[in-house]
Amino acid sequence: MARGESGAVRVALLGCGTVGTEVVRLITDQAADLTARVGTPVELVGVAVRRPHRHPWLTENFGHLVTTDAGALVARDDVDVVVEVIGGIEPVRGWLLEALKAGKSVVTANKALLAEDGPTLAEAADASGADLYFEAAVAGAIPLLRPLRESLAGDRITRVAGIVNGTSNFILSAMASGGTSYGDALEEATRLGYAEADPSADVDGYDAASKAAILATLAFHTRITASDVHREGMRGVSSADVAAARRLGCTIKLLAICERVVDEAGAESVSARVYPAMVPDSHPLARVDGAFNAVFVEAEAAGQLMFYGQGAGGAPTASAVLGDMVAVARNRVGGGRGPRESAYASLPVRAIGEVPTRYHVDLEVADREGVLAAIAGEFARQGVSIAAVRQTGGINGSIDSTARADDAGPGPARLTVVTHSAREAALSATVAALADLDHVIGVVGVLRVEGLGRAVSALGMGE
Amino acid sequence: MARGESGAVRVALLGCGTVGTEVVRLITDQAADLTARVGTPVELVGVAVRRPHRHPWLTENFGHLVTTDAGALVARDDVDVVVEVIGGIEPVRGWLLEALKAGKSVVTANKALLAEDGPTLAEAADASGADLYFEAAVAGAIPLLRPLRESLAGDRITRVAGIVNGTSNFILSAMASGGTSYGDALEEATRLGYAEADPSADVDGYDAASKAAILATLAFHTRITASDVHREGMRGVSSADVAAARRLGCTIKLLAICERVVDEAGAESVSARVYPAMVPDSHPLARVDGAFNAVFVEAEAAGQLMFYGQGAGGAPTASAVLGDMVAVARNRVGGGRGPRESAYASLPVRAIGEVPTRYHVDLEVADREGVLAAIAGEFARQGVSIAAVRQTGGINGSIDSTARADDAGPGPARLTVVTHSAREAALSATVAALADLDHVIGVVGVLRVEGLGRAVSALGMGE
């Protein structure tokens, strides 16, 4: 355990954007506290940035530490810990692998890299005995990974589900509270700095899927990568969907869900998925607004736990990075190691088609006799059990503005069906068959309903 | 690091009540998982109980492990880890000290002992290099101490506040939702097994005060014992208080509050206190019902975090114990150590009289001219600023049933005052002076209001 002559733990920082700047600030402002907590000083020995002229605060105050050569910084003999807050897969992967192979501890917030290639990093850490910590990669400041890896290490986790992308939650919150359209809400999020110029990582669910992969890996002791996660974004959520959810006593949230699934034969598998879903307003997740994150964890002995806080932002993410940095520094001083990769369970991944969920299906239908029977028949044919049906409209009802005025018959009506738990594959087949029915003018919306319970009774039959 | 010949980590369990039984069950049921997670088997080598005949399940299934001599079990050479779930100060303190001095790691759920004499245990652990873990001592299954000790180790915690006693929260929830009296709610809690035959530890705030001491110690790196915690129980909360809170848009909760206080001169101190207080319904803590626990943590970089879950019960508490057991077992295998006591800050404790809070004061007053002026004068005299006043009654108003029928004048009225933040000492002096006023028939209720904000505007002036 090489350390400086002064006994200091020497830290190299890769990247100095919003999070990195806060990391530098906290390391320097809290030097005395960190020394007391670690047992020896923590010394920042280098900061790698691509374009130093874009970091005036850094170059002015810490110019002697700045380098543009991250690879050379990582390779330096006088570096004990590498903190990475650049993000993205390449070229970061190579630097972190080099660091771990050389026995340097790594603290990273890089969810994309961990979700794509976490096992390779973990193996490098195990081989050299170095630490690999990444609390900041999921849910920012919320202590979530440490509880999963350590506090619940004697329990059996059955489910981790939550809101782990603040940008999409900000947009969905704005749509729900202000009746704003998706486009307007996205514009507002961009203006406030919550959304990036290209919002795809957030609104298309890539960011949440990376986090789901990391959570599922830890919760179920099974290597889950981003490609194992079923992913649907929230671009398709319309104001009509938001209104439909409200009528049901629900709120639409972009959820990351990781579940241990046990089939009839007792065989276990892991389901990891990201999609927008209706959540009953009685559920605490429905009340998580704006850019906040919240995650529910269910374990056999612990029961239900919830963690709530800021999922992004410079200071909150830096708090998580610093917590990890103190841990790896303590380990270097004390001679211990953090928890290693635990992937012994190696459970198979369950295909999304086999995952049971409840669904909310909104149909625009011709207001004729027999329409309900025909529709119910299609659900029954696929073995999808209906929990509740509500019809609104005829011609004077709450008809969608897209209703075709030239329809024959007494005019279209809206039919809302909420199913009992059904396999995705059966529901997809049902929806395809419904779209072909004469009576059905259009399938207006299909959304999953998660954590239902009370919402079904709130729906009732007709109004 | 002595371990069994098989390499197993050998565990002695002290106590086998509700929690201990679950610990035994989890260790045996999850043996394969624990082995995989620790890296070596975890072996239960002895269980100490006072009266074996009261534990038929234990003696039937693990009779060969049972002993009545806890001291001898702790002293055995073939014990690596001592798990204690007996509770109480003596004789447990001696056993745990013996274990730690002998280099055995200790996992304990004993909040009373930790709050009274944690530093002695911590010193013994540090001296021998043994681990001392106690996640289960506060908020049961909720991972709270590990986040405070580790995840937030690079941050500056400013406040830890929450509901940490499930029994009193069950009673207050029943009073709030059902209009039940304290006595009836307590009876229900006892019937359901939430309250013990002698409910004093719960309803008088001793349990919460122990937990506050542990939380404050970790959050502020300062030794805080139970005697440093200002403690008021919730026996005195009446149905009238509950109704008054509801009128204000608040709910009464028994809170444990640990704060870093910075005075005008920049000097820091720690305030740790337990009392029933009004919490605005808009605050998530107001919605924590039944026997659940929830804790808010505020840190400078992380911002606001919330942790929610089951704070008591056999399985949830055992989950926390097992998580710690896995951690200390991993440390024994890997050669590391958990975080040591961190009390370097040694902040002074702030006297309750110097702690500023908002107050809700309910007065029964004679309905005469000048009464408001007289009362406002008393508040002003002590420098307590009034945020809002509401008068109800006269003779046909909402007069408390204890109003004296033989009062002279046009009959009593109710005056409700909510103050701005005021020092406890100033408020106490105000209340004493008010009680002596001619116009005041009685001080009906005094309750603190915590985390106010929106509640004041909800109060308004009149109805």
Residue B281 has, within 13 A of its CA and on its CB side, a CA count of 13
Contact B392, B247 (CB under 8 A): no
Contact A334 B337 (CB under 8 A): yes
Whether residue B1 has pLDDT greater than 70: no
Q: Name the residue among A37, A146, A309 with its Cβ closest to that of B302.
A: A309
Contact A319 B154 (CB under 8 A): yes
> How many helices, marked H, and strands, marked E, lie in chain A?
16, 17
Whether residue A15 has pLDDT greater than 50: yes
Q: Name the residue among A153, A303, A310 with its Cβ closest to that of B310.
A: A303
Higher pLDDT, A196 or A224: A224
In this prediction, residue A86 has a pLDDT band, given cuts at 50, 70 and 90, of very high
In sequence order, what are the residues at sequence separation of 6 or more whose Cβ sits closer than 8 angstroms to the Cβ of residue A453? A280, A282
Please, what is the average pLDDT of chain B? 90
Contact A416, A460 (CB under 8 A): no
Q: Which residue of A has its CA nearest to B312?
A: A302
> Which H helix or E strand runs over A92?
helix A92-101
Stretch B159-173: mean pLDDT: 96
Stretch A266-279: mean pLDDT: 96
In sequence order, what are the residues at sequence separation of 6 or more whose Cβ sits closer than 8 angstroms to the Cβ of residue A222? A216, A270, A343, A345, A346, A347
Nearest alpha-carbon partner for A370 in A440, A427, A417:
A440
From chain A, the residues in CB contact with B37 under 8 A are: 153-154, 221, 342, 344
Nearest alpha-carbon partner for A279 in A257, A308, A310:
A257
Contact A307 B306 (CB under 8 A): yes
A321 at interface of B, judged by CB pairs closer than 8 A: yes
Whether residue B401 has pLDDT greater than 60: no
In this prediction, residue B294 has a pLDDT band, given cuts at 50, 70 and 90, of very high
Contact B342 A310 (CB under 8 A): no
Contact A305 B302 (CB under 8 A): no
Q: Go through chain A and tell me how many residues it has.
A: 463
Give whole-number Cα distances, B69 to B12, B49, B73, B339, in Å.
Answer: 12, 8, 6, 31
In this prediction, residue A184 has a pLDDT band, given cuts at 50, 70 and 90, of very high
Nearest alpha-carbon partner for B11 in B72, B68, B96, B73:
B73
* Shortest CA gap A257–chain B (Å): 19
In this prediction, residue A457 has a pLDDT band, given cuts at 50, 70 and 90, of very low
Q: Which residue of B has its CA nearest to A322?
A: B154
Contact B439, B414 (CB under 8 A): no
B345 at interface of A, judged by CB pairs closer than 8 A: yes
Whether residue B2 has pLDDT greater than 80: no
B395 at interface of A, judged by CB pairs closer than 8 A: no
Write down the catalytic residue from A104, A111, A211, A253: A211
Please, what is the average pLDDT of chain A? 90
Whether residue B454 has pLDDT greater than 60: no
Contact B326 A153 (CB under 8 A): yes
Contacting B residues, span 21-40, partner chain A, CB-CB under 8 Å:
22, 26, 30, 33-34, 36-37
From chain A, the residues in CB contact with B330 under 8 A are: 339
Domains of chain A: 9-140+315-334 (3.40.50.720), 145-310 (3.30.360.10), 353-459 (3.30.70.260)
Burial bucket for residue B51 (CB in 10 Å: 0-12, 13-18, 19+)? exposed
B300 at interface of A, judged by CB pairs closer than 8 A: yes
* Shortest CA gap B299–chain A (Å): 9
Contacting A residues, span 209-228, partner chain B, CB-CB under 8 Å:
221
Contact A147, A308 (CB under 8 A): no
Whether residue B405 has pLDDT greater than 90: no
Whether residue A65 has pLDDT greater than 70: yes
A129 at interface of B, judged by CB pairs closer than 8 A: no
Stretch A157-173: mean pLDDT: 96
Contact B309 A303 (CB under 8 A): yes
Query: Which site among A296, A319, A328, A341 would you substitute to test the B interface, given the most B Cβ atoms closer than 10 Å to its Cβ?
Result: A319
Q: Which residue of B has its CA nearest to A321?
A: B154
Q: Check if A111 is active-site.
A: no
Token pair in block for residue A93: 């992967």
The pLDDT value recorded for residue A3 is 61
Whether residue B458 has pLDDT greater than 80: no
pLDDT tens for residues B199-227?
999 999 999 999 999 999 999 999 999 99
The pLDDT value recorded for residue B178 is 84
A141 at interface of B, judged by CB pairs closer than 8 A: yes
d(CA A428, CA A424): 6
d(CA A119, CA A277): 30
The pLDDT value recorded for residue A454 is 34
Query: Which site among B34, B133, B155 would you substitute to test the A interface, given the most A Cβ atoms closer than 10 Å to its Cβ?
Result: B155
Interface confidence, given as ipTM, is: 0.90
Contact B310 A302 (CB under 8 A): yes
Name the phi and psi angles at A23, rounded to 5: -60, -45
Instruction: Mean pLDDT check: name the lowest of A81-85, B286-290, B294-298, B373-377.
Output: B286-290
Higher pLDDT, B370 or A38: A38
pLDDT tens for residues B217-261?
999 999 999 999 999 999 999 999 999 999 889 999 999 999 999
In this prediction, residue B5 has a pLDDT band, given cuts at 50, 70 and 90, of low
A322 at interface of B, judged by CB pairs closer than 8 A: yes
From chain A, the residues in CB contact with B142 under 8 A are: 305
Contact B342 A37 (CB under 8 A): yes
Contact B239, B181 (CB under 8 A): yes
The pLDDT value recorded for residue A185 is 94
A182-191 helix and A166-178 helix, angle to the nearest 10 degrees: 130
Q: Name the residue among A154, A306, A342 with its Cβ closest to that of B322.
A: A154
From chain B, the residues in CB contact with A153 under 8 A are: 37, 322-323, 326-327
pLDDT tens for residues A419-446?
999 999 999 999 999 999 998 999 998 9
Contact A34 B154 (CB under 8 A): yes
Whether residue A147 has pLDDT greater than 50: yes
A335 at interface of B, judged by CB pairs closer than 8 A: yes
Stretch A138-159: mean pLDDT: 95
pLDDT tens for residues A367-413?
888 889 999 999 999 999 999 998 887 644 433 434 444 444 556 88
* Shortest CA gap A439–chain B (Å): 46
pLDDT tens for residues A302-354?
999 999 999 889 999 999 999 999 999 999 998 888 888 999 999 999 999 99
Contact A146 B141 (CB under 8 A): no
Q: Which amino acids of B are annotated catalytic?
A: 211
Contact A153 B221 (CB under 8 A): no
pLDDT cut 90: percent of chain A above it = 79
The pLDDT value recorded for residue B456 is 33
From chain B, the residues in CB contact with A141 under 8 A are: 299, 301-303, 305
Contacting B residues, span 275-294, partner chain A, CB-CB under 8 Å:
284, 287
In sequence order, what are the residues at sequence separation of 6 or more whose Cβ sits closer than 8 angstroms to the Cβ of residue B25? B318
d(CA A221, CA A32): 38
Q: Which residue of B has its CA nearest to A320?
A: B151
Give whole-number Cα distances, B186 to B170, B171, B195, B209, in Å.
Answer: 9, 6, 7, 20
The pLDDT value recorded for residue B237 is 95
Q: Which residue of A has its CA nearest to B22?
A: A301
Name the phi and psi angles at A277, rounded to 5: -150, 155
